[in-house]
Structure 1
Amino acid sequence: MHALAVDIDGTLTRSDGSLDPRVIEPLRTWPAPVVVATGKSLPYPVGLCEFIGMPVRIIAENGGAVYLADDDVLEFTGDRDRAQRVVEQYTDAGHSLGWESVDFVNRWRETELAVNIDQPLEPLREIATSEGMRVFDTGYAYHVTAPDVDKGTGLRTVATRLDVKPSSFAVIGDSENDAAMFEAAGVSYAVANADDTATAAADHVTEASYADGLLEALDAIGE
């Protein structure tokens, strides 16, 4: 049975962004390791794993943070200082990160920073490029991250630490930040609501969207 790596937003959720409770039991009873791979900061996937009741195996911040309960090691890769310089130049140019005054989106980020998708993208990309950084558009936020960090590198790190091959993983996601993970894995599924980059990179595209698509993919993987 394939190990799993699954995205959160747009994949474990309903269209309104809330977790679909139907995904809980299939994930907690999957007979191989399950890794939650997300652009969110570390506390979110940790809390998700704990509340679902499965071992904490996570790739957070688009590959910038990796933790496995198996070896109890937390590993960071990225350049938050340069990400900070990017967002400072962005705000100095008159733009905003677009979050509330208490910014829970970035409060616990260690390796990158995120900007609300309601804000202008092109100025952010230009500044990021000038600083040697890049921007992921996940459909939920613009993530300013180092060019050598992505979910694919995160998955390879996880595979090494679990002493398995990346090709032993089946992965499910919906955004351009999942594409590198799709390419590293043995088999990949984009849910029907996925963006063009994820859809093009995936081996399969489900007929159903959001969590319904995830459940459809799990059925296919488990056959």
Structure 2
Amino acid sequence: MTADPPLVLDVDGTLTRLEGWGIDPRVFDPLREWEAPVVIATGKAFPYPVALCHFAGIPELVVAENGGVVYTGEDVFYRADREAAEAVVEAYRAAGYDLGWGREETVNRWRETEVAVNLEQPLEPLREIAAEHGLEVVDTGYAYHVKDPEPNKGDGLETVAAHVGFDPADCVAVGDSINDVSTFERTGRSFAVANADDHAKRAADEVLEDAHADGTLAVLERVRAGE
């Protein structure tokens, strides 16, 4: 048995049920019992990972919006602003397209630094308009994220680590998407769940046999056992 290392965990596709939506409740107890810091690093809007930490009963260490917002438990750091992304949305709508979330658009209501577009919407015109505004579009498998090209999850992890007092190289990371590559590059061990995209699988130290939360739970058991 060895001491628990810090964790860096994605949410969608990583802590979710096998069908892909909704947090698998089996993750709550292992996370609450973990003795080292647990960083939730996600593309979701800032309030969602904070709420997840509340429900799991763990300290609020959060990298949200693909690195656009970082919360160390004491301080919030904004790595981008939403103004440019809003300009992209305005032009996208003027071209006859829609974000695809319905009237209330709760996916973006509390988003601080980027805008998410439903995967059912046309991608190429979105990319073209984003590029005209100096932004990029990241396909996480759950949404198209219109964002500043500079912030990423790995940089956010560095910020949390510096404030909390641990070395990213000591961390174990689990993820499923291109937006997890930057955390994989900074952590000592990285795992891509079986449902991960090709970018994450190439960047990870190991591709797991199990998908979604099944894969993540298997990693936690192995790491805690000293494997």
Number of the residue aligned with 2:13? 10
Moved over 6 A (4+): none
Number of the residue aligned with 1:192? 194
Q: CA deviation at 1:159?
A: 1.3
1:165-176 to 2 correspondence within 5 Å?
Answer: 165-176=167-178
Number of the residue aligned with 1:32? 36
From 47, 70, 74, the equivalent of 1:66 is: 70
> In structure 1, the residue corresponding to 2:169 is in which secondary structure?
helix
Note the alpha carbon deviations across 1:114-146, whole angstroms, 9 max, x for none. Answer: 000010111111111111111110111000111
> In structure 2, the residue corresponding to 1:184 is in which secondary structure?
coil
**Identity, % of aligned pairs?**
54
Number of the residue aligned with 2:60? 56
Counterpart amino acid of residue 38 in structure 1: T
> In structure 2, the residue corresponding to 1:98 is in which secondary structure?
coil
Q: CA deviation at 1:165?
A: 2.0
The question of whether the paired residues in 1 share the 8 Å contact of 2:20 and 2:212 is answered with no
Q: CA deviation at 1:105?
A: 0.5
Counterpart amino acid of residue 113 in structure 2: T
Number of the residue aligned with 1:154? 156
Any unmatched runs of 5+ in structure 1? none
TM-score normalised to the size of structure 1?
0.96
Any unmatched runs of 5+ in structure 2? none
From 88, 92, 117, the equivalent of 1:115 is: 117
* 2:221 is equivalent to residue 219 of structure 1: yes
Note the alpha carbon deviations across 1:32-55, whole angstroms, 9 max, x for none. Answer: 000111111111111111111111
Aligned residues between the structures: 221
The question of whether the paired residues in 1 share the 8 Å contact of 2:100 and 2:117 is answered with yes
> In structure 2, the residue corresponding to 1:102 is in which secondary structure?
coil
* Distance in 2 of aligned mates of 1:170 and 1:128: 33
* Distance in 1 of aligned mates of 2:120 and 2:80: 25
Note the alpha carbon deviations across 1:20-77, whole angstroms, 9 max, x for none. Answer: 11111111111100011111111111111111111111111011111122xx111111
From 15, 27, 35, the equivalent of 1:23 is: 27
Counterpart amino acid of residue 12 in structure 1: L
Counterpart amino acid of residue 65 in structure 2: E
* Distance in 2 of aligned mates of 1:184 and 1:127: 31
* Distance in 2 of aligned mates of 1:47 and 1:145: 23
Q: Over aligned residues, Cα RMSD in angstroms? A: 1.0
Q: CA deviation at 1:16?
A: 3.9
* Distance in 1 of aligned mates of 2:217 and 2:82: 35
Number of the residue aligned with 1:183? 185
* Distance in 1 of aligned mates of 2:129 and 2:183: 26
